[in-house]
Structure 1
Amino acid sequence: MAEDLPARRLLLVHAHPDDETIATGAIMAKYAAEGARVTLVTCTLGEEGEVLVPELEHLASDRDDQLGPHRITERDAAMKALGITDARWLGGAGTYRDSGMVWSETGAATVAPDVPANAFWLADLREAADHLVAVIREVRPQVLVTYDDFGNYGHPDHVQAHRVATYAVALAAVPSYREDLGEPWDVAKVYWTAQSESWLREGLRRLREAGDHTTFEGMDPDGDLSFMAVPDDKIAAVIKADEYAEAKLEAMRAYPTQIKVDSPFFALSNNLGAYVWGTEFFRIAKGTAVPTDDGFEHDLFAGTR
């Protein structure tokens, strides 16, 4: 029943396990700790991911093909670290498979030539959106967070997650659409995850000064970062959640097959602490931003009821 729902409700739509922690782990922990209902929908199990742990390499898709089930356990551990109790799989676990990707000549990710038959990239858009419509109408979030139309860096599953989320938000608000999926609900605000250009440049400088010259090799703190970053004047919300940086780091450690926690970057970024992991940035795609004196929102729920 709607009257039984918490006052603030946040829904996040991500492509693979670990995406949610890297991009939005701090806000997830922050809002959950503050009493909001935080719901995560992950679209695939991440079956095509690279396995960074040698003793688990047999799980890879070109060997035992058991990485997906393993990443379920990793996500469970990450959600525990973030304090999230409502984490779901779009359509149920394994409904859509990780599409994989390749790097294009432009440096962006793109669709691989051998996409699996049940890949999320090939999913029927309305079918996939309907799964999310049901969640939207159940959870009734004021705020939904997902990727931009480029999937932030071109990964086909990120792009598809953007498309599914965008379509589902529109359909969920239509009173006459699929009444069997619940009462209509209009999401007040939709945000796209982003990487601040000024923040990325400063982060790169700090890494270089700390002695790491190999992570993000070729990325010049003073050069062209348009592929990875968003100009600050395009960013609507800056959420500082420094007190939840350690929870985010703990959640990242829950993904050893995907995140090399003993790498120079992880060690150095861990030492940089809240600067690297405690602040997250967003573009607004639906609704009206409510900026403060510095020109940015500092609460995704600002202006909602």
Structure 2
Amino acid sequence: MTNDPVRRLLLLHAHPDDETIMTGGTIARYLAEGVDVRVVTFTLGEEGEVIGDEWAQLAADGGADQLGGYRILELTRALAALSPAGRPALRPRFLGGAGHWRDSGMAGAPSAQHPRALVQAGFDDLVDTVVAEIVSFAPQVVVTYDNAGTYGHPDHKLVHASTVAALPRVEARMAGRPLPAPAKVYESITERSALHAGLSAASGRVPGGWRLPAADELPSHPDETITTEIDVRAVVDRKAAGLRAHATQVTVAPSGTEYALSNNILQPILDREHFVLTSAADGLWPEPGQRETDLFAGLD
């Protein structure tokens, strides 16, 4: 329980577009409910594969190496799309400031050797920067990735590892302060049955040039591991709009219910987003076999 009347939600993501792909509905829902939401992105996504020809030469391997700057614009547009009409739009925030750390690229990529690549960061420096971000915002709820980094991307795995390492330091820094350390920490994941249901529903409307994923090609978690399900049906149109804003990285199907990355593998735009609660203060764990429907359950 908490006596703090202001609900604050911090989401930590690796690259622009991750926030909408994994948690866009959750961001939109809690913004609509008046929650103070902060999305912190670790890199500019400089190593992303560009869809289409218009901005292809901005890519790291396209000559200009200006993609990261353009993706700041895409993230700005995406967060605006997720924000309620008539209110100030949520703004991007980058760990250490925009451009402090660089997208490392996929595992084994030469880009990982760049001196500013996230994987080249001193781990203590990275963790201390995460600590400072959490302490300055004092969220009750923090969202990160699972230990696999969703799909194994080195930057995603570092987001997870640095968040986990930061939490004990945050507790020590916030001891005796008016606001407590985060009371709940979640990992954002995809529920297996929800993924399969979304793919089944889309099987008859695969856009030309796209394909359905092979069995187990997309990462997901067994249903029984899920602790929390957030219903985002009321804002799923905002989630789709947020995905469209990341046009160098994401294509949204004409139906508005599926999307694909540069690999043209269809993925459903889910109207429920799933999480695993990994850390909670006493009294905030759900009953065994019960799913929460609110990230702030037990806190109000």
* TM-score tier after normalising by the smaller chain length: 0.7 to 0.9
Query: Alignment partner for residue 88 of structure 1, among 82, 90, 93?
Result: 93
1:157, distance to aligned residue in structure 2 (A): 0.6
Aligned residue identity for 2:241: E
Counterpart residue number, 1:64: 64
Structure 1 distance, partners of 2:174, 2:224, is 38
Name which of 179, 195, 204 aligns with 2:199: 204
Secondary structure at the counterpart of residue 152 of structure 2 = coil
Deviation at 1:195, TM superposition (A): 0.8
For residues 34-73 of structure 1, the aligned pairs below 5 Å read 34-62=33-61, 63-73=63-73
Q: Deviations over 1:239-258 (max 9, x none)?
A: 01101001111111111101
Residues 176/232 of structure 1: CA separation in 2 closer, same or farther (3 Å cut): closer
1:130-186 Cα shifts (integer Å, max 9, x gaps): 222122112111110010011011000100111111122221111489x9xx88842
Residues of 2 paired with 1:296 and 1:236: CA distance?
5
**Number of the residue aligned with 2:132:** 134
Looking at structure 2, the residues matched to 256 and 213 of structure 1 have their Cα atoms a distance apart, in angstroms, of 18
* SS of match in other structure, 1:46: coil
DSSP-derived class of the 1:39 partner: strand
Which of 157, 181, 185 aligns to 1:186? It is: 181
SS at match of 2:172: coil
Say how many residue pairs are matched. 280
Distance 1:278 1:17 in 2: 21
Q: Is the 8 A contact 1:175 1:184 kept in 2?
A: no
Aligned to 1:106: none
> What's 2:262 paired with?
none
One-letter amino acid of the counterpart of residue 286, structure 1 = S
Matched, 1:148 2:146: yes
Alpha-carbon separation, structure 1, partners of 2:5 and 2:16: 26
Greater CA deviation, 282-291 or 65-74? 282-291
* Aligned mates of 2:206, 2:129 — CA distance in 1: 47
Taking the aligned partners of 1:191 and 1:46, their CA distance within structure 2 comes to: 23
Task: Show the counterpart of 1:289.
Answer: 285
- Give the aligned partner of residue 195 of structure 1: 190
Task: Provide the residue aligned with 1:233 in structure 2.
Answer: 224
Q: Deviations over 1:41-65 (max 9, x none)?
A: 0000000001113021110102100
Per-residue CA shift, 1:176-231, capped at 9, x if unaligned? 89x9xx888421111111111111111121121335697454524xxxx3861100
Cα RMSD, aligned residues only: 2.6
Which one-letter code corresponds to 2:13 in the other structure? H
The secondary structure found in structure 1 opposite 2:39 is strand
Partner of 2:92, secondary structure, is strand
TM-score (norm. length: structure 1): 0.84
TM-aligned CA distance change 1:112 to 1:211, over 3 Å: closer
Query: Quick check: 1:253–1:259 contact (8 Å CA) kept in 2?
Result: yes
**Partner SS, residue 209 of structure 1:** coil
TM-score by length of 2: 0.85
Instruction: Pick one of 100, 106, 123 that aligns with 2:105.
Output: 100
Cα gap change, 1:153 to 1:213, in 2 (>3 Å): farther
Partner of 1:248: 239
Aligned to 1:25, what secondary structure does the other structure show? helix
The answer for unaligned runs of 5 or more in structure 1 is 102-109
- Provide the C-alpha distance between the structure 2 equivalents of 1:77 and 1:231, rounded to a whole number of angstroms: 33
Distance, in Å, in 2 between the alignment partners of 1:20 and 1:7 is: 22
Structure 2: gaps spanning 5 or more residues: 84-88, 260-267
Q: Distance in 2 between matches of 1:170 and 1:247?
A: 35
**More displaced 10-residue stretch of structure 1: 148-157 or 133-142:** 133-142
Greater shift in the superposed pair: 132-141 or 145-154: 132-141
